[in-house]
Structure formats: C-alpha cells, structure tokens
Amino acid sequence: MKKQISLNVQCPHCLTSLMDTENVLHDFPSIKLNITTPANRGIIHLCSVYECFDHRSNIEIKDNTVVDFYCPSCNRELLVNEECKLCDAPMVSFVLLTGGRVNICSRNGCSNHYVAFSDLTTEVTKFYNEFGV
Ligand SMILES: [Zn+2]
Ligand SMILES: [Zn+2]
C-alpha cells in the first residue's frame, strides 16, 4: 500500500487553515469548504489525503456538476486562473502550509488534482499576483 500523505491546506486569500479536525475522513482532518452548485448551497468536507477523492457534503452533488468552492472564513472563491486539462472546468487552488499549492478540478467526478511544489518563491509570488492581493 502507498503511504498516505495528508495535505495541510489554508485559504489563499486570508491564510486561515481549512482543516477541520472535528470532521475526520480516513483518520485525517478533512478540508472544510462552503460550496454552491447550480441547484444548492452547502458545506463539503474533502478528504485531505493526497490522491484520495472521497468527500462528504450536506447537499447532493450530481456527477459532472461544476462546484464553486468558497473559504468558510473570508467567503472568497478559491478559484485559480486555470482550466482543467481533462475537462475544461475551472481549477480550485489551496495553499499548502508547507509551501506550494494544490490544485483540484471543480467538477464532481473529475480526478484531476495535482500539487505544485516547484520554485516556491516564484510560485507564491505568481499566485498572489493572479489573485491581485
Ligand atoms: Zn479565506
Ligand atoms: Zn476536470
């Protein structure tokens, strides 16, 4: 079995931790976010284990629905200026506490997500520029 890496992420805007230690998935704290779908608004808990796609939500999310993700603290959208290479949906981005960032596809059922650890300084600068912070 592969070693499980639990990602520790924070909001790219307000830098508040998105980890929810009270809602555990696969023995790790989950990533808690506010979401909206074309039909509904709710809360989602994403599994923080890298390459695991499990999640739990209090609303129904149909397959292939593009979901908008918002920070529960500052309520800003966690969009990055990038499209999914697999399905063209917008990508969502978190900042890793350890540096770098993780991007996931906003479409439910799409398996695209990746972690970018490349040149940290440039990566972070570029990131803030994109968000105009
Ligand atoms: Zn925030
Ligand atoms: Zn996708």
For 33-44, write each residue's pLDDT tens digit.
999 999 999 999
State which residues have CB under 5 angstroms from ligand 2, the bound ion: 84, 86-87, 89, 105, 107, 110, 112
User: 64 CA distance to ligand 2 centroid (A)?
Assistant: 9
Distance from C-alpha of 14 to C-alpha of 84, rounded to nearest angstrom: 24
Average pLDDT over residues 75-80: 93
Contact 64, 108 (CB under 8 A): yes
User: 2 CA distance to ligand 1 centroid (A)?
Assistant: 32
User: 81 CA distance to ligand 2 centroid (A)?
Assistant: 14
DSSP letter (8 states) at residue 96: E
Residue 5 has pLDDT above 80, yes or no: no
Distance from C-alpha of 56 to C-alpha of 43, rounded to nearest angstrom: 9
Ligand minimally distant from the alpha carbon of residue 78: 1
Average pLDDT over residues 71-100: 90
Ligand minimally distant from the alpha carbon of residue 110: 2
- pLDDT at position 39, please? 93
Residue 2 has pLDDT above 80, yes or no: no
C-alpha to C-alpha distances, 124 to 6, 78, 98, 121, nearest whole angstrom = 21, 15, 12, 5
- Higher-pLDDT residue of 59 and 51 is 59
User: 77 CA distance to ligand 1 centroid (A)?
Assistant: 8
- pLDDT at position 114, please? 64
Q: Residues 60-70, buried b or exposed e (16+ Cβ, 10 A)?
A: ebeeebbbbbb
Contact 103, 113 (CB under 8 A): yes
Tell me which of 31-40, 71-80, 86-95, 106-115 is least confident: 106-115
Task: Tell me the pLDDT of the chain averaged across its residues.
Answer: 84
User: Is the pTM above the cut of 0.85?
Assistant: no
